[in-house]
Every structure is written in C-alpha cells, then in structure tokens.
A and B are shown apart, each in its own frame.
Chain A
C-alpha cells in the first residue's frame, strides 16, 4: 500500500513539475531561421538579413525575408523579432553569409556570436558574398522557390563533391584560433537568377585580404586535403605533341582531369631560412581532351603527364606567391613550422611576418591512370 502511494507520488510530482517549466516551443509559432546574411551600412552598423522558413500551407511562399539594422548581430535579432509574426529560432541555421565589406572589417565578432550560441550547429556553412547579401537574399526569381535552400544545397554539394574547401563554422573557428593557419571561405555571387561560387576568399586572421578563383581553389584543396580533390580543366601548350589528325583546333590543348587520389606532404627543410618542401602526388583519370591526341602511344601519355605536372607546379607556385603577397596562410604552413620546430612559441603576428619570407619548393608527381573506356 505504502509502495503504491510512493510510486503515485513520484509520478504525479514528475508530471506536475516537469511539464511546463521549460519554455514550450510550438513549431507553428516558431520562425526557423535558415539563412542569415550580414552587411555593413554607411554609418558602420550591421544590417542583418534573415530568411525564415514558413510552416503554413496557406502562405504565398514558404519563406520570409527580413532585414534590420543594429549595432550587433544579436541586437538585429531582437529588432527582427519586432518585425516577425513568429518567434525567431536559430537552431535550423544552415548558412551564414557575409558581404565582402564585413569580412574586410573582420569576421570574428560575428562568427564568434554564432559559435557562442548553443542552438547553432557547428556544421553551419559560412560564405562570403560578392556585393550585398541583402540584395542576394531579396532577389526574386522564378527558377527557384526558396533561395535559402538553393544556397545551402549548392554549398553543400560543392563542398561534399570536393570542388571547394569546406568552410563550416567549426573549421573557420578552428583555423582562426590556430596561430599557423588562416581560414578560407567560399565566395558566392548572385547574377541573373543564378547563384555561382566564384572562388575563395583569402583571409588574414579574420580579415579578407584577397580572393582566388575556382581553379586556384582546386589547388588549395589539393594542398590541404588528404583524400581527394575534384575535377579540373587545364590548358597546356600543344608544342611537342603529335596529333593524329592535323586539326586546326584551338591554340591551347585543354585537358580535363578527375582526381582519383591525391596526397600532399609539406615539410620544413630549414627552419632558419624557412624553406618548405611541398610534395604533391596526384593520380588522375583523363576525362576529356580537346584535340585528337593518340593516347595509345605511351610517349604521348608520358609527355602529357610531364607537361601537366609542370603546369600544375607553376600554378601552385603562383597561388602560393599570391597568398604570400597578402600574408594569408590558408595552407597551414605555420602549423607545419610549429610542428617541426620545438619551442617555436609561434604567435599569429610572428607567423604572418615569417610567412611572407618563407620559400616553398613545390614538387608535383603526376600520373594518369586511365583514359576512359576507349582509347
């Protein structure tokens, strides 16, 4: 008898106390933020544009775009609540966009706000927008029904498909708080109702200092990632090749390659001279070639490999020189230095000075494994 009474008491206590103590979150009354964009206004404030998911079958479109100005991003959030019929929730945030001006002024305060909020996922993508994020998010177009989904899926597809470096919140914060490597963010641009990833922003600490195009982004990925880089189109001079038919094609020989496996190995050769050696091994398959080259002839394939290897080497050297000129280290050479030198006591400032003076010796080992199912 007493036992039953105790059990009943426990149950009723649980039921009465636990329900209703936390703030209830009814889905229909929530505005789920899926995308947020930050711009700077002329008076130095932050203009925040958010896209809310509408959960209402009778709504004319399934998302709402709201823009507000405030001194801080959370301040903007409070003001946006005043404009919104639903309580804003950021748990479904997928993409955070920053206009170029914002990133040039420094990204970290905004990114830190995102990282501080436990409801925001560490897998949120960050990206830079060429132009204004407000315009991009407000753009009306018949081709897509929901721009926030479009941007998210496009970034997701390209990052998972190994075309551009990954830029989740976790990775950006990781690189920012690491002394020997700078974060990278993809740059997107809206034009004529399409959204295009046009390259990658070079960042020094948290400030954007330059940009590289999509092809250079491929090389960056090749250097940084162990597993796989995507496909690439390379142009080389046709000198020295014997073509089967003397076609009067384009001047340059264009080759499209798909990476099967790649490995990059960076080592510090001399810590006093800051000499690095970067070895890149690349195994590819040939997808397309724009002129009739006899691939049955091993000589031709060897030559092609050699020329493509040289081309890649010079491209990579160009990329490194470009990044060094703006003192941005997306390759993580500083981490290699820190790892190889005992008691390096590396700080970000110290490294960025050293980085500009360091020399990188690039070696590319390039191999074409297959040329498709026909020869």
Chain B
C-alpha cells in the first residue's frame, strides 16, 4: 500500500518525460504564438479526464482497469481490452526509451550504440521492479524533488526573452488551438497510471484531490516553459528547434560548468525512470492478472521482449513517425476511451446491481 499523498508525485513524474524535451515546436506549428493557450486547453482536458478516470474507479471499491474491463465485458472481450492496455504501456515504454536514446546520441555521444543505452535503462527498470511498487513510487518521489531545481534555470533564457513575441494574443482560431492542444497528447499522457495504481492507494477519499494537484502542477510547469520558449525563440527558430527545452538550457552558463545542457540531458534519465518503471509495472501487472502468473516473472519476460524491440535500429524520420502513431493512438485511448468506460460502468451499475463485483475485486 502506498500513501495517497505520493500520488501527486506519481502523476506528475509520469507526465513529465521525453515529450517535454521538444513539445514547443509541434504545438507552435499548429497554434503559432498562441501555443500557450493550447497548453492551457490540454491542461484543462487532463483535469476533466482525470476526474472521469477517478470516478470510474470509485464505482468499484478497489479495483484497477484490468478488473473493471473483465467485469464489464467478460473473460474474452475484457481480457482482449486488457491486452490492448498492456500493449499501450509497452508501447509507451518503447517510445520513451527510443526518444531518450536519440537525444543522447544527437547531443552527447553520437557513437554510443543503441543496445548499450537500452540495456542500461532496461536494467535500471529491472532493478527497481524487483523492489516492488513501493520502490517505484519512491523513485518517482525523488525524481520530482531532485529535479525541481531545473526549473530555476529558466531564469537564464528569461534574460533574453522578448515578450513582444506573445502578441497579438488570440490570433490563432479555435480549430488551430484545439489542434495544438491535441499535439500535446504525447507530452501530457502518463496520468492513466491511476487506472492501475488505484488499488494500492491507502486513503481512497483523497485520491481525486491529489490526482488533480499532480495534473495542475504539470500544467503550470508546461505553461511556464511554453511562455518562456515563445519569448526566447523567434517563430522561425522554434519551428526548426527539435528539442526546444534542451535548447533553452544551452544558454545556461556557470563558471564551473560552461555547457549546462550536457548536465540537463544526462539528468533527464532521472525524469524518465519513473515513467519506464511504472509503465512496465502496469504492463506486467496486467499480464500477470490475465494469466494468473507472478508479477515479477512476467516483468522479466516483458523487459527481455522490449529490449529486443529496442535494439532494432530506427532513424530520425522513423522515430518521428512512430511518435506520431503512438500519440494518435494514445489520444483516443487516454482522451476518448475513459468516457466510454465510465459510461459503460454507469450503465452496468444501473442495470446489474452489485452483480459480479466479486470478480473485479483485487486479488491482492
């Protein structure tokens, strides 16, 4: 069992990952200098979806998405949906590692091979998963606390900021803003972890509040980053900058570290570790529940499998395409499906009172 207060850190650290390294550009391409409004819209969207997710979970006493889907749709269909969710988690894991490795290779070590970087990350995840969920949640807590100071460094690009670039406000029309917000998907997802971690939270009545705190914290951070980026880069420059956030760090210079972005990029591993661990934990828990096997053994197998997929070489274009497909899938899964699920749960509750709830009960 985990203290519910830690949910703030879990949600925030799950949202923060590789997307934040370069989200400015893709939003800017849609919404131009009003991109910050898109960020705000996506923040509101996460709050709404977060609310629906928690409501869905509250309909059952203490179950996760696997139990709920099983209960709603029966063994075959329910498990099929469970497998889709597991695949989504594995996909997210893959995409995060891919993007991080690409950043490492583009910025610091062009020669270091994929297999080595992937192995180090996979091994770290294996190590943490052996410690169980409490270790993983501990990692997310420290990931957030230890990286808070990075936000202070925004003061450096702040000096070069030209606020004129934010004006005229509201020049983009509503479809453009919404398209921009949709492009945020890849950056804001991660809070669906509530679907799997819910049974492990101790004080259920405080879950929703802490979930919203976590989401709000992320939205504020993204908004600040976007506003500073818009003022720091000029339009054409932002369109060409693949990793806007990392480029912001290029301006940071201390007497003892002249090139700070190297520190920031290597430090990023602390930011993505909770993502990897929690996604892998969710996936192995799903498989374990479907097949009734031991979670740890499943996670070893899954890690081995995902490692094999990571060795497969991809170039920048292919990675971009993969990100695109993943983001599109994630958009429907995270911003569409929860509503359907919630509706299904409501209908089920109304017509089949209390039936089969025992099924969904957590076995732990």
CB distance from B116 to the nearest CB of A (A): 5
**When the two chains form the complex, which single residue of A118, A179, A340 contacts B107, counting CB atoms closer than 8 Å?**
A118
The 8 Å CB contact of B111, one of A22, A173, A342, is A22
Q: Is B55 on the interface with A (CB-CB < 8 A)?
A: no
Minimum CB–CB distance from B128 to chain A (whole Å) comes to 12
Contact digits for A296-321, partner B, Cβ 8 Å, 1 yes 0 no:
00000000000000000000000000
On whether A342 and B171 interact (CB within 8 A), knowing A173-B237, A177-B234, A177-B240, the answer reads yes
With the chains together, A21 CA to B115 CA distance in Å?
11
Establish whether residues A123 and B253, one from each chain, have CB atoms under 8 Å apart when the complex forms: yes
Please tell me the number of chain A residues within 8 Å of chain B, measured between CB atoms.
Answer: 32
Contacts of A174 in B (CB 8 A): 160, 233-234, 237
Interface check A91, CB cutoff 8 A: yes
A156 at the interface (CB under 8 A from B): no
Asked if A21 and B116 sit within 8 Å, CB to CB, the answer is yes
Question: Is A261 close to B, CB under 8 A?
Answer: no
Known A335-B164, A339-B164; judge A17-B120 contact (CB<8 A): yes
Q: Which residues of B contact A18 (CB under 8 A)?
A: 116, 120
Is A371 interfacial (CB 8 A cutoff)? no
* Complex Cα spacing A177 to B240, Å: 9
> Bound complex: CA of A332 vs CA of B106, how far in Å?
33
Please state if A178 and B235 are interface contacts (CB–CB under 8 Å): yes
User: In the assembly, what is the distance between CA of A122 and CA of B234, in Å?
Assistant: 14
* Smallest Cβ-Cβ distance to A122: which chain B residue: B250
Chain B residues, Cβ within 8 Å of A177: 234-237, 239-240
Known: A123-B251, A178-B236, A343-B171. Contact between A13 and B123, CB under 8 A?
yes
Known: A10-B127, A18-B120, A21-B112. A121 touches B237 (CB 8 A): no
Answer yes or no: B119 CB below 8 A from chain A CBs. Answer: yes
Query: Which residues of B are found within 8 Å of A342, using beta-carbon distances?
Result: 168, 171
User: Which residues, 3 to 44 on A, are CB-close (under 8 Å) to B?
Assistant: 10, 13-14, 17-18, 21-23
Chain A: which residue is nearest B247 at the CB level? A122
Task: Give CA–CA (A335, B253) in the complex, Å.
Answer: 29
- Shortest CB distance A76–B (Å): 20
* B258 interface residue per 8 A CB criterion: yes
Q: Does A336 contact B (CB under 8 A)?
A: yes
A residues less than 8 Å from B247 (CB atoms) = 122
Smallest beta-carbon distance A40→chain B, Å:
26
Q: CA of A208 to CA of B110 in the docked complex: distance in angstroms?
A: 35
State the CA gap A256–B222 with chains docked (Å).
48
* Interchain CB contact under 8 A, A91 and B235: no
- Check if B235 sits within 8 Å of A179, measured CB to CB: yes
B window 87-131: CB within 8 A of A: 106-109, 111-113, 116, 119-120, 123, 127
Q: Is B251's CB under 8 angstroms from A339's CB?
A: no
Q: Please, which residue of chain B has its CB at the minimum distance from the CB of A178?
A: B234
Interface flag for A367 (CB, 8 Å): no
| A residues less than 8 Å from B106 (CB atoms) | 118
Which chain A residues lie closer than 8 Å to B168 at the CB level?
A: 339-342
CA distance A336 to B233 in the complex (A): 16
Q: How far is the CA of A171 from the CA of B106 in the complex (A)?
A: 23
Contact flags (1/0) for A172-202 with B, using CB distance below 8 Å?
Answer: 0111111101000000000000000000000
Query: By the criterion CB–CB under 8 Å, are A22 and B112 in contact?
Result: yes
Q: Give the shortest distance, in Å, between A205 (CB) and chain B (any CB).
A: 11
Question: Does B75 make an interface contact (CB < 8 A)?
Answer: no
Residues 241-264 of B at the A interface (beta carbon under 8 Å): 247, 250-251, 253, 258-259, 261
A181 to B247, CA, bound (A): 21
- Shortest CB distance A33–B (Å): 14
**Does chain A have a CB within 8 A of B167?**
yes
Do A170 and B235 contact each other (CB < 8 Å), given the known contacts A10-B127, A13-B123, A17-B119? no
Closest partner residue, chain B, to A346 (CB atom)? B235
Contact present for B119 and A122 (CB under 8 Å): no
Interchain CB contact under 8 A, B236 and A10:
no
- Chain A residues whose C-beta falls within 8 Å of the C-beta of B113 in the assembled complex: 21
Question: Which residues of chain A are within 8 angstroms of B109 by Cβ–Cβ distance?
Answer: 22-23
Q: How far is the CA of A297 from the CA of B57 in the complex (A)?
A: 82
Which residues of A are interface residues toward B (Cβ below 8 A)? 10, 13-14, 17-18, 21-23, 91, 118-119, 121-123, 170-171, 173-179, 181, 332, 335-336, 339-343
What 4 A-B pairs come out closest when comparing CB atoms?
Answer: A177-B236, A178-B234, A177-B237, A122-B250
Q: Which positions in B face A, CB cutoff 8 Å?
A: 106-109, 111-113, 116, 119-120, 123, 127, 160, 162, 164-165, 167-168, 171, 233-237, 239-240, 247, 250-251, 253, 258-259, 261
Given contacts A14-B120, A340-B167, 20 further A-B contacts (CB under 8 A): A10-B123, A10-B127, A13-B123, A17-B116, A23-B109, A91-B259, A118-B106, A118-B107, A118-B261, A119-B259, A170-B250, A171-B160, A174-B160, A174-B233, A181-B234, A335-B165, A336-B164, A339-B164, A340-B168, A342-B171
22 A-B pairs (CB sep. < 8 Å)? A10-B127, A17-B119, A17-B120, A18-B120, A21-B116, A22-B112, A118-B107, A118-B261, A121-B253, A122-B247, A122-B251, A170-B160, A171-B160, A174-B237, A177-B236, A177-B240, A179-B236, A181-B234, A332-B164, A336-B164, A339-B164, A340-B167
